[in-house]
């Protein structure tokens, strides 16, 4: 039926309109967060107390009129506190999200890169031909965007919390172990472990040329870290790796099943495989409890599933596709018999200890 033939509920129309414009508002506020991060405005506001646009202009050397409009927009978005639209406060709780990159709640870093409009054109083609975009296809700086998303929680949890949960792993690393990070990206997790456990040797594998270039630059001159431009399915079947890590990457792979089989061939009989995956369920109703579920699915289409469908035989798991039930089934098929999910205070991810 056409709109003219239907009797429409005006309240429901209003709700859909407000919801739709709310997402447009989100797009524009995201641009403002990008500018605030890019220009160092949140850092300038952190600890400064109540400030005017003139105060911020004096502190940053930026134009007062532009700052005044930006500040009012941030207050309207409830990211700054202001009672009169003239004086603004970045509360300390907001600063941990917007200004302090060394805290696990820091989120502003994900706004540093804006998506190239050409990526939208390529994604539209993906809907027609079924083939997605690799991470290198997803625009300049995509590798840095991934690290910006993952770094705060990784720094807070990987070494001090997660590694001690794994049976005997910290002791092996201290004594000198062999570690492989599949889907290592720009190498953050390898750096955190290598700095803490210098007696161990580390190898990173990734298929992104840009990520590998950044990781190799990161470890230039290192004697115990090697970076390989290769996928998880390319791991040699040495049967001697003490710790394998796949941190928030299996669902991005076109063929995670092949990577799992290769990991089974590479890992030592008493080795450990640490998996970090997005918190999700195989039940739609439980996923609906996620307050940012719409963002998760949008991220999947634009990034994760796009990568997982970047080959003609891709399984296309996507951001939410590797829930505990699915993961346990796939690891069992790959030949692993020990599967434990650890309780970690991470609102976004689940952590698993898997052994042969």
Is 84 inside any structural domain?
A: yes
Say which residue, 27 or 205, is predicted with more confidence. 205
Residue 98, domain extent: 10-102
Is 28 inside any structural domain?
A: yes
Given 77, 102, 127, the domain boundary residue is 102
Q: Could you tell me what percent of the chain has a pLDDT over 90? A: 86
Is 202 inside any structural domain?
A: yes
Q: Give the pLDDT score at 140.
A: 76
Q: Give the pLDDT score at 4.
A: 57
Query: Are 248 and 283 contained in the same domain?
Result: yes
Say which residue, 324 or 148, is predicted with more confidence. 324
Given 51, 72, 102, the domain boundary residue is 102
Query: Are 45 and 128 contained in the same domain?
Result: no
Is 33 inside any structural domain?
A: yes
Is 186 inside any structural domain?
A: yes
Burial class of residue 250 in the structure, from the number of CB atoms within 10 Å of its CB (0-12 exposed, 13-18 middle, 19+ buried): buried
Query: Are 92 and 140 contained in the same domain?
Result: no
Q: How many domains does the chain have?
A: 2
Query: Are 54 and 189 contained in the same domain?
Result: no
Query: Are 81 and 214 contained in the same domain?
Result: no
- Distance between the two ends of the chain, CA-based, in angstroms? 58
Query: Are 132 and 83 contained in the same domain?
Result: no
The whole-model pTM stands at 0.87
Whether pLDDT at 1 is above 60: no
Query: Are 218 and 284 contained in the same domain?
Result: yes
Query: Are 98 and 157 contained in the same domain?
Result: no
Whether pLDDT at 3 is above 80: no
CATH of the domain at 52: 1.10.10.10
Query: Are 226 and 253 contained in the same domain?
Result: yes
- The number of residues in the chain equals 356
Phi, psi of 270 (to 5 degrees): -105, 20
Average pLDDT in the chain:
94
Query: Are 14 and 133 contained in the same domain?
Result: no
Given 72, 102, 132, the domain boundary residue is 102
* Beta strand 201-206 pairing with 225-229: parallel
Question: Which of 248, 200, 204, 256 is CA-nearest to residue 226?
Answer: 204
CATH of the domain at 253: 3.40.50.150
Is 77 inside any structural domain?
A: yes
Query: Are 184 and 255 contained in the same domain?
Result: yes
Is 109 inside any structural domain?
A: no
Query: Are 63 and 195 contained in the same domain?
Result: no
Whether pLDDT at 142 is above 90: no
Q: For 238-274, what is each residue's pLDDT tens digit? A: 999 999 999 999 999 999 999 999 999 999 999 999 9
């Amino acid at each position: 039926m056409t709109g003219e033939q239907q009797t429409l509920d005006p309240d429901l129309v209003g709700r859909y309109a407000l919801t739709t414009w709310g997402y447009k508002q989100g797009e524009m506020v995201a641009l403002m967060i990008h500018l605030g991060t890019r220009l160092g405005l949140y850092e300038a506001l952190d600890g400064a107390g109540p400030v005017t646009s003139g105060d911020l202009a004096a502190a940053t050397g930026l134009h007062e009129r532009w700052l005044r409009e930006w500040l009012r927009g941030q207050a309207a978005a409830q990211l700054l506190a202001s009672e009169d639209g003239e004086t603004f406060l970045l509360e300390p709780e907001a600063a941990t999200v917007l200004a302090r990159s060394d805290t696990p709640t820091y989120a502003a870093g994900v706004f540093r890169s804006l998506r190239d409009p050409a990526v939208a054109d390529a994604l539209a083609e993906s809907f027609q031909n079924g083939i997605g975009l690799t991470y290198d296809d997803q625009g300049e700086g995509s590798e840095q965007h991934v690290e910006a998303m993952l770094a705060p929680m990784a720094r807070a949890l990987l070494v001090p919390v997660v590694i001690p949960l794994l049976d005997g792993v910290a002791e092996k690393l201290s004594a000198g172990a062999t570690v492989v990070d599949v889907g290592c990206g720009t190498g953050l997790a390898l750096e955190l472990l290598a700095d803490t456990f210098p007696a161990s040797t580390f190898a990173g594998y990734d298929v992104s040329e840009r990520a590998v270039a950044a990781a190799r630059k990161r470890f230039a001159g290192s004697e115990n870290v090697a970076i390989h431009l290769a996928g998880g399915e390319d791991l040699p079947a040495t049967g001697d790796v003490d710790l394998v890590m796949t941190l928030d990457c299996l669902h991005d792979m076109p063929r995670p099943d092949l990577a799992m089989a290769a990991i089974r061939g590479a890992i030592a009989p008493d080795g450990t495989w640490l998996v970090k995956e997005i918190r999700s369920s195989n039940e739609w109703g439980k996923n609906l409890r996620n307050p940012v579920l719409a963002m998760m699915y949008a991220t999947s289409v634009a990034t994760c599933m796009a990568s997982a469908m970047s080959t003609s035989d891709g399984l296309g798991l996507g951001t939410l596709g590797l829930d505990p039930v699915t993961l346990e089934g796939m690891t069992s098929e790959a030949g692993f018999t020990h599967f434990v999910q650890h309780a970690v205070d991470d609102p976004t991810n689940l952590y698993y200890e898997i052994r042969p």
